Structure formats: C-alpha cells, structure tokens
Amino acid sequence: MLWSFFRLECRGICTHNARLLWCARTSEATKLIPKSHGWRKTAVASLVIALFGLPASSAYALALGRITVQSALGEPLRAEIDIPEINAEEAASLKPSLARPEVFRSSGLEFNQALTGLQITLQRRADGRSYIRLVTDRAVSEPFVDLIVEANWSSGRIVRDYTVLLDPPALRARAPVQASAPQVAASPVTPPARVAATPVPAPAATPARPATTAAPAAAASSRPDKVTVRRGDTASQIARDIKPSQVSLDQMLVALLRANADAFIDGNLNLIKAGAVLTVPTDEQVAAISETEASRTVIAQSRDFNAFRNKLASNAPEQRVAAADRTASGAVQAQVEDKRSAAAAPDKLTLSKGGADAKAAEEQIAQAKAAQDAAQRAAELARNVKDLSSLGAASAAAGSTAPPAPAAAASAAAPDVGVTVA
C-alpha cells in the first residue's frame, strides 16, 4: 500500500524523481518537490527517509559481548569475548586489539604490565559463531585485571572495557566445568526436541526426571552432619568432599566459615584448626550465599593470608644474622691445635702402662742397657789391650837389632799409648 502510494506520488513530481531518491536523507529532497503538492511533499520525504534509513542502522549491529575467563590466578591469561552478530564483510576486515597504555590512563584505569604482548585474534567456533581470543605469555598475579579492547573494521569502530576476575588456583578445577557445560548442552538440545515430538520417547522422559531428583536427595542424605578436621586437612578439601553438586566451591567455603567461625584462626579460611568439629551447613544455607559474594570473600581471605605470610617472612633477616654469627665464631684455629694435641696424646698413653709394673719394666730396661754398654766397653778394652800386646811384641823384636836408647824410648812410649787408648 505504501509502496503504491510512493510510486503514484513520484509519477506526479515529473523528472525530479531520480534526484529525490539520491538526496532523500538531506534537506534538498524537500526543496526539489514543487510547493503545489503540499502535504504530499512531506509524506514522500518521510517515506523515503524511512525506507533508506533503516538499513543504515543495521550496518552498526556489530558489538562485543561478555568475556569468559579460562585461566586462574598466577597463570597466563586466557579469555574469550563473544561477538553476538557479525557478517562476512565485517569478519573479513575486523581487527581487534588492546588499547594503548595512554588510553588506560585517560580512562582512569591501570595498565597491567602482564598484558604486554597480549595476542588478540578473531576465531570461529564449530557452530559458526565468532569470538575474540585473548592470550598472554606472562602470568597474571593480580586477582582483578582491567582490559580495554578496540575493534576496527571497514565501516566502523567500537571500544569496550572489561574487568576480569581471576579465581585462585585451588578453584581452577571449577572453571572448566562451567565453560564446557554450555558447549555440551548447545549441540544436543535440538535433536532431543525433535525426537520428543514423536509419542515413542514420551514414556522414557517421565522416569528420567525422578532419577535426576533422586540423585541429589541420596547425596544429601549420605552427607554427614559433622566433620572432624584431621591434621593436614584444608578447608578446600573438606568443602570439595561435602559440597552439593549445584553450588560452587566458593559458596561451600563461605558457608563453612559462617557456620563454624570458631574453627578458623582469625576467621581465615586458610587457617583451620586441627581437631575442630565442623557443622555441615544445609543446602539452603549454602544456596543463600551468592556466587559473586562468595568469590569476593575467598579472594579477600587469600589476600589476608598472603599478608600474614609476608608478616612472618619479615623475621627472616634476624635468623640469618644469628646464623652468620655462629659461622664466624666457629672458624677458630685453636680448635685445630686442640685436635693435633689430642691426636698426639694417644701415642704417649700407649707407650706408658703406668703404676709399679711400668717403673719396674723401665728399671729392667735401663739395667739391661747399662750392662750392654759395659760389655761393649769391656770388649773394646780387651781389643785395645790385644792390640797393645801385639804392638809390644813387635817393638821387642825390633829392639834386638836397634840401639838401646830408642828401645827404651819405645818401651816408655808404650804406657803413653795405653793410657791414651784407655
């Protein structure tokens, strides 16, 4: 109806139809229509603007959706940003990137140095949906990280900031379960709906519901009301063993803390008392705590525990100084001299037996040595006397042929030789 009206009016405006179609979005479109047409001029201009203006708004339908974090605290960042709607032309020219540090400062946000070298790429899932993948090569040690993502394509640009919340490493096992649940449920949802249209699977669907409801009931009945903390147990281990399947580990930890405040030192989840008897909270008490509130409480508890550890570590320098003093005092040479004297002492002790037996033995040894010396001197004396006798005989034989004066001198010299030898 409207299109027919538009064709009739355009036919009545003579040759200005072509320029009117090209200039309908400007004020010139109204000037090209003769004044005699009056209200027809306004109707035609409004209709043209409506027809040609609607497609223009759809050209800027590209937007950045929610962000899903796949890494934990202390690990390199891995996250995905959903893109709800994007056409082939936009996907071909889309270039996502991280904003410069100057943009962070102008927006009042802090640029985390761990984001340096962040890789941002456009990816496509198996079902055809597009998303932006963010990966860093550095570990992120802060629980909160601010991001400003820029997306530029051939016909537009969009900027959006995100605040990423990173769970502690102890809660990392919970993240893959949440991330994989939508993907697994997304593909099989449509086939069961088509099969359920036939009357055959209807009886099988009715017993399936009681089976799912019976499982939590059985798990709740088997869960104990009291738990005793043994040495070496942690609050995370206890909460993981007794928590219901429909709640998170953070919710169970906070519920345990509130139900058993006296079992934790300074009210900290990381300082649980050994031997304490914990009261297990009910499913209603755990579900009453929101997941966001529980995550914030656990992160705050982790910060307090880190501050407690840093406070204990501040005493380490005093212990190191004491150890250095002990090392310096031990390096004394007097100890080495004592060891040498102690090593020489056993030699003296082994030679002396001590007491009357030792003295008698020493006297016997001295007497034997004296007798041996006397025997040696007597043997030497006898040998000397023998030599003198032989010498005297030789002198007597020589005296029979020599004058008497030299003989007398020789006989007189013999005693001198004997005395000298003796």
pLDDT 10s digits, 98-125: 999 999 999 999 999 999 999 999 999 8
**Which pLDDT belongs to residue 12?**
44
C-alpha gyration radius of the chain: 56
Work out the number of other CB atoms within 10 angstroms of the CB of residue 161.
13
**Which pLDDT belongs to residue 171?**
67
**Which pLDDT belongs to residue 40?**
53
**Which pLDDT belongs to residue 225?**
85
Percentage of the residues of the chain whose pLDDT score is greater than 70: 55
Stretch 29-48: mean pLDDT = 48
Name the average pLDDT for the chain. 69
Q: How confident is the model at residue 146 (pLDDT cuts 50, 70, 90)?
A: very high
Write the pLDDT tens digit of every residue in 218-258: 444 567 888 899 888 888 889 888 888 888 888 889 998 99
Range with the largest mean pLDDT of 18-22, 184-188, 202-206, 264-268: 264-268
Claim: this prediction has a pTM higher than 0.85? no
**Which pLDDT belongs to residue 46?**
53
Stretch 263-282: mean pLDDT = 88
How far is the C-alpha of 42 from the C-alpha of 47, rounded, in Å? 9
**Which pLDDT belongs to residue 405?**
47
**Which pLDDT belongs to residue 403?**
52
Stretch 361-381: mean pLDDT = 85
Write the pLDDT tens digit of every residue in 134-143: 999 999 988 8
Class of residue 223 by CB neighbours under 10 A (exposed 0-12, middle 13-18, buried 19+): middle
Q: Is the pLDDT of residue 183 over 50?
A: no
Go through the domains of the chain in sequence order and give each one's CATH number: 2-58 (no CATH), 67-166 (2.60.40.1590), 222-347 (no CATH), 367-421 (no CATH)
Q: Facing residues of 272 across strands?
A: 264
Stretch 124-153: mean pLDDT = 91
Phi and psi for 367 in degrees, rounded to 5?
-65, -40
Work out the number of other CB atoms within 10 angstroms of the CB of residue 30.
15
**Which pLDDT belongs to residue 364?**
83
Write the pLDDT tens digit of every residue in 397-409: 766 655 554 444 4
Three-state SS at 211: helix
How far is the C-alpha of 375 from the C-alpha of 363, rounded, in Å? 18
Class of residue 62 by CB neighbours under 10 A (exposed 0-12, middle 13-18, buried 19+): buried
Q: Residue 108: which region, alpha, beta or left (left: phi > 0; alpha: psi -120 to 50)?
A: left
Q: How confident is the model at residue 207 (pLDDT cuts 50, 70, 90)?
A: very low
Cα separations in angstroms, 289 against 246, 248, 285: 13, 10, 7
**Which pLDDT belongs to residue 298?**
86
Q: Which residue has the higher pLDDT, 247 or 320?
A: 247
Q: Which residue has the higher pLDDT, 41 or 119?
A: 119
Stretch among 145-149, 179-183, 350-354 having the lowest mean pLDDT: 179-183
